[in-house]
Structure 1
Amino acid sequence: MTITLFKDGFLFTEKGTFQKGDLLIEGDHVSRAFYNGSPPVPDTLKPRNIVDLKNRYLIPGFIDAHIHLRSLALKSLRCDLGDAGSADDVLRLMSEWAGSHDDRFVVGVDWDESRWPERRYPTRDMLDSIERERPVFARRICGHIGVVNTPFAKLLEAEGVTPDSATGLIEEHDVWVAGRLSSPDETLISNSFDGAIAALHRLGITGIHDIIEPNQFDVYLKGIAESGRRLRIAGLVCTDPKKLDQYREDSKAMDRSYFNIEGIKVFLDGSIGGWTAALNEPYADSPRMDSLLVPEERLARLLRECRDRGYMCAAHAIGDRAVRAVLRQMVDYPKNTRLFRIEHAEIVGAEELDLLRRAPVYAVMQPNFIRNWGGPGGLYEERLGRERAKLCNRFRSFLEAGVRYCFSSDGMPPGPLYGMKGATHHPTPEERIPPGEALLRYTVAARAFQNGRWGQGVFEEGSRADVVVLSGNPLETDTDAVSVLKTYVGGECVYDAKKPEGND
Structure 2
Amino acid sequence: MKFIISLLAIVTLTGHANTTVIHNVNGYTPIYKGDTQQFSSLVFKDGKVVKIGDDTLKNNFPDATLIDGKGRTLLPGLIDAHGHVIGLGDNLSQLDVRGAKSIAEIAKKLTTFAANNQQDWLIGRGWNQELWNEKNFPNATDLDHIVSDRPVVLSRVDSHAIWVNSKALEVAGITAETEAPEGGEIIKDQFGKPTGVFIDKAEQLITQHMPTPSQRDISLSLDAAGQHLLSLGITSTHDAGIDKNTLQVYKARSKQGNLPLRIVAMLSAASPDFKTMLAAGRYDDIGDFMSIRSVKVYADGALGSRGAALLNEYADRPNHHGLMLESQQQLEALFTLSFKNGFSANTHAIGDKANKIVLDAYENVFKKTGGILLRNRIEHAQIVTPNDIPRFKTLKIIPSMQPVHATSDMHMAEQRLTESQLQGAYAWQTFLQQGSVIAAGSDYPVELANPFDGLYSAITRMDHRQLPEGGWRATELLSRDEALRAFTLGGAYAAHQEFKLGSLEQGKWADFILIDKDYFTVPVSEIFTINVEQTWIAGELKYQKQTH
Q: TM-score, normalised by structure 2?
A: 0.83
Provide the residue aligned with 2:465 in structure 1: none
Shift, 1:246, TM fit: 4.7
Tell me: CA distance 1:136–1:219, structure 2 relative to 1, closer, same or farther (3 Å): farther
Matched, 1:406 2:454: no
Alignment of structure 1 residues 270-285 onto 2, 5 Å: 270-285=301-316
Provide the residue aligned with 1:419 in structure 2: 454
Shift, 1:5, TM fit: 1.1
Tell me: CA distance 1:113–1:247, structure 2 relative to 1, closer, same or farther (3 Å): farther
Q: Is the 8 A contact 2:23 2:58 kept in 1?
A: no
Instruction: Give 3-state SS (helix, strand or coil) of 2:92's partner.
Output: helix
Instruction: Give 3-state SS (helix, strand or coil) of 2:235's partner.
Output: strand
Provide the residue aligned with 1:235 in structure 2: 265
Q: Is the 8 A contact 2:227 2:260 kept in 1?
A: no
Matched, 1:297 2:329: yes
Alignment of structure 1 residues 223-262 onto 2, 5 Å: 228-239=258-269, 242-246=275-279, 248=281, 257-262=288-293
Q: Is the 8 A contact 2:515 2:533 kept in 1?
A: yes
Which residue identity is paired with 2:400?
V
Matched, 1:45 2:62: yes
Shift, 1:107, TM fit: 1.6
Tell me: CA distance 1:431–1:126, structure 2 relative to 1, closer, same or farther (3 Å): same
Q: Structure 2 stretches of 5 or more lacking a match?
A: 1-16, 181-185, 462-471
Tell me: CA distance 1:178–1:53, structure 2 relative to 1, closer, same or farther (3 Å): farther
Which residue identity is paired with 2:315?
A
Provide the residue aligned with 2:344 in structure 1: 312
Tell me: CA distance 1:65–1:337, structure 2 relative to 1, closer, same or farther (3 Å): same
Q: Of 509, 512, 519, which aligns to 1:464?
A: 509
Shift, 1:177, TM fit: 5.1
Q: Is the 8 A contact 1:307 1:339 kept in 2?
A: no
Q: Is the 8 A contact 1:229 1:494 kept in 2?
A: no
Instruction: Give 3-state SS (helix, strand or coil) of 2:266's partner.
Output: strand
Shift, 1:337, TM fit: 1.0
Instruction: Give 3-state SS (helix, strand or coil) of 1:323's partner.
Output: helix
Provide the residue aligned with 2:234 in structure 1: 205
Supply the distance in 2 between the matched residues of 1:131 and 1:472 (Cα, whole angstroms): 46
Which residue identity is paired with 2:456?
K
Which residue identity is paired with 1:417?
F
Q: Is the 8 A contact 1:107 1:182 kept in 2?
A: no
Instruction: Give 3-state SS (helix, strand or coil) of 2:38's partner.
Output: strand
Instruction: Give 3-state SS (helix, strand or coil) of 1:196's partner.
Output: helix
Supply the distance in 2 between the matched residues of 1:386 and 1:281 (Cα, whole angstroms): 12
Provide the residue aligned with 2:299 in structure 1: 268
Provide the residue aligned with 1:178 in structure 2: 206
Provide the residue aligned with 2:45 in structure 1: 26
Supply the distance in 2 between the matched residues of 1:383 and 1:391 (Cα, whole angstroms): 14
RMSD: 2.7
Q: Is the 8 A contact 1:455 1:463 kept in 2?
A: yes
Supply the distance in 2 between the matched residues of 1:424 and 1:462 (Cα, whole angstroms): 30
Q: Structure 1 stretches of 5 or more lacking a match?
A: none
What do residues 151-180 of structure 1 show as CA deviations (whole Å, max 9, x unaligned)? 111233379776543421101123245345
Alignment of structure 1 residues 121-132 onto 2, 5 Å: 121-132=137-148
Supply the distance in 1 between the matched residues of 2:495 and 2:247 (Cα, whole angstroms): 24
Matched, 1:139 2:155: yes
Alignment of structure 1 residues 145-224 onto 2, 5 Å: 145-157=161-173, 163=186, 164=188, 165-176=193-204, 178-183=206-211, 185-186=213-214, 187-214=216-243, 216-217=245-246, 220-221=249-250
Provide the residue aligned with 2:405 in structure 1: 369
Higher deviation after alignment, 291-300 or 60-69 = 291-300
Matched, 1:3 2:19: yes
What do residues 107-156 of structure 1 show as CA deviations (whole Å, max 9, x unaligned)? 22111222233323321111111222211111101101111111111233
Supply the distance in 2 between the matched residues of 1:491 and 1:183 (Cα, whole angstroms): 40
Instruction: Give 3-state SS (helix, strand or coil) of 1:474's partner.
Output: coil
Instruction: Give 3-state SS (helix, strand or coil) of 1:404's partner.
Output: coil
Q: Is the 8 A contact 2:21 2:58 kept in 1?
A: no
Supply the distance in 2 between the matched residues of 1:85 and 1:16 (Cα, whole angstroms): 44
Which residue identity is paired with 1:33?
I
Which residue identity is paired with 2:307?
T
Which residue identity is paired with 1:461?
Q
Instruction: Give 3-state SS (helix, strand or coil) of 2:424's partner.
Output: coil
Shift, 1:372, TM fit: 1.4
Shift, 1:436, TM fit: 0.9
What do residues 7-47 of structure 1 show as CA deviations (whole Å, max 9, x unaligned)? 1222223356452321111021111112x46x844434322
Which residue identity is paired with 1:414?
A
Matched, 1:491 2:539: yes
Shift, 1:450, TM fit: 3.3
Higher deviation after alignment, 386-395 or 1-10 = 386-395
Shift, 1:358, TM fit: 1.2
Q: Alignment length, in residue pairs? A: 492
Percent identity of equivalent pairs:
24
Supply the distance in 1 between the matched residues of 2:18 and 2:231 (Cα, whole angstroms): 23
Tell me: CA distance 1:239–1:99, structure 2 relative to 1, closer, same or farther (3 Å): same
Q: Is the 8 A contact 1:8 1:20 kept in 2?
A: no
Q: Of 488, 491, 494, which aligns to 1:446?
A: 491
Supply the distance in 2 between the matched residues of 1:23 and 1:382 (Cα, whole angstroms): 49
Supply the distance in 1 between the matched residues of 2:19 and 2:547 (Cα, whole angstroms): 22
